[in-house]
Amino acid sequence: MYAVKVIKNVLLGRSLSPTLKKALNHCADKEKPKLQQLVYGALRDYPRLFGITKQILDRPIRAKDTDLKALVILGIYELEHMNTPAYATVASIVERAQDLGKPWAKGLINAVLRRFIREKEVILSTLTQSQQASHPEWMYDKITNEYPDKHADIFATNNEAPPLTIRVNQERINREDYLSLLKERGIVSKPGILANTSIYIEQSIRVEDLPGFTEGMASVQDEAAQMAASLLPCKAGEKILDACSAPGGKATHLLETFPEIQMSLMDIDQERMIKVTENLDRLRLSANVVIGDACAGSKIFPPDSFDQIIADVPCSAFGVVRRNPDIKLLRKLEDINSFSCLQKNLLNGLWPILKPGGHLLYVTCSILQDENDLVVGNHVKVNTNCEWIPIEAKWGFETKYGRQLIQTSGTHDGLYFSLLRKTSSH
């Protein structure tokens, strides 16, 4: 029943993360892995599953019965992906209609699921291209237009469960020794291919059970995100700002890489900054933590306050859809323009507090030009004291103003990086 409630809440417009967190807090420990599998799996595949229901149902399920809509989606997902006999799945799903206090719907649920079993091949053959790719049509079109040669791989990756990737704290232990620790514990793993701090954990495990995790020997962080620390040219004693810091992964990596820098971490979300403080404590790192809006950076800090700034800005998150499958349901086309406007405001708010000669590393977890090159290009054009620095690397591909990584099956997420240098105060 928890899975139905979580999916229902997302269908009603609520974010997955807090909704699932609440359900997990009430769920028995042994049931938590299955709950997460059902919720993430059904939401990743939602556009396709919803397309299937449209073929079967004579008329849409009423808005006031969103829980039944969630139940049907979950039922079809279980029939396709869980190792349970079809008859047992149908019986279980039908009984949940009773548990929802809607016994009148048992016949409807039974008929829908049994028709799907009987006519599966025909039903699947009638789905649109976007439904087959399990992406909303506008998102399908956007990605297809921007990546005509890569869109199929992007869709497939977005529909997969992401790997568990960790970052080794090289202040405490090197990667080779940590890989040996994992092997001693019987934990299957392999080194990453982009970042020399990255390791992929190739089995299901709680992060708390990783060797030395609570003592700060490792952190969970995607391998693409681990590239940021190698791109910002920090020096000992410099003042560094992570302007959109929560949950603090890139800032703590910078502190591990450059332990003698003076680090400030800022974010507008006070609740999320609690997690940043917890991560700093676990990793035994110290930094100045500030609650503030980077768009108003010049009102929070004096001009020319920082030698280097990293701005991992809010975005559409098109590069991390597999980790945030509710994006497929909650994000709208008009949101892209809203994010690009916010990103421009963030750059404008941060630029005055960067010292001449300093660098700003602009980062998004998006694969869209609207939020990447077009935002950076606009900033370069309107600020005569801004110069773009090419990122020389063998990973990803070069764009006009930065470097792009595309999410890849079994490995890293899709992130964009652009390095800007301030040539003078004006």
For the whole model, what pTM was predicted? 0.95
CATH superfamily of 227-422: Vaccinia Virus protein VP39 (3.40.50.150)
Q: Quick check: do 2-127 and 164-220 share a fold? A: no
Helix (H) or strand (E) holding 418: strand 416-422
CA distance 106 to 269: 44
Phi (first) and psi of residue 192, to 5 degrees: -70, 170
Model confidence over 366-420: pLDDT tens digits?
A: 999 999 999 999 999 999 999 999 999 999 999 999 999 999 999 999 999 999 9
* Residue 1 scores a pLDDT above 90: no
Instruction: Give the full edge-to-edge strand order of the sheet including 198-201.
Output: 189-191, 198-201, 164-168, 218-220
Q: Mean pLDDT throughout 260-278? A: 92
Where do the structural domains in the chain lie, given as residue ranges? 2-127, 129-159, 164-220, 227-422
Mapping DSSP to helix (H, G, I), strand (E, B) and coil, where does residue 198 land? Answer: strand
* Residue 354 scores a pLDDT above 70: yes
What is the phi-psi region of residue 415: left when phi exceeds 0, alpha when psi lies from -120 to 50, beta otherwise?
beta
The b-or-e profile of 125-141 (16+ CB within 10 A means b, else e) is eebeebbebbbbeebbe
What confidence category does residue 77 fall into, taking pLDDT thresholds of 50, 70 and 90?
Answer: very high
Give the pLDDT of residue 167.
98
Judge whether 321 and 331 are in contact, CB under 8 Å.
Answer: no
Closest by Cα among 277, 267, 200, 261 to 229 = 261
Give the pLDDT of residue 58.
86
Per the annotation, the verdict on 315 as an active-site residue is no
Q: Give every CB contact of residue 153 below 8 A, 6+ residues apart in sequence.
A: 406, 408, 409
Q: Mean pLDDT throughout 98-109? A: 91
Q: Mean pLDDT throughout 79-99? A: 91
Give the pLDDT of residue 297.
94
| Averaged pLDDT of the chain | 95
* Residue 357 scores a pLDDT above 80: yes
Domain spanning 164-220: CATH 1.10.260.40: no
Catalytic residue among 234, 244, 295, 365: 365
Q: Give every CB contact of residue 271 below 8 A, 6+ residues apart in sequence.
A: none
Give the pLDDT of residue 29.
86
What confidence category does residue 324 fall into, taking pLDDT thresholds of 50, 70 and 90?
Answer: very high
Model confidence over 292-323: pLDDT tens digits?
A: 999 999 999 999 999 999 999 999 999 999 99
Looking at domain 2-127, its CATH architecture is: Orthogonal Bundle (1.10)
* Residue 147 scores a pLDDT above 70: yes
Q: Mean pLDDT throughout 190-202? A: 97
Q: Mean pLDDT throughout 239-264? A: 95
Give the pLDDT of residue 424.
81
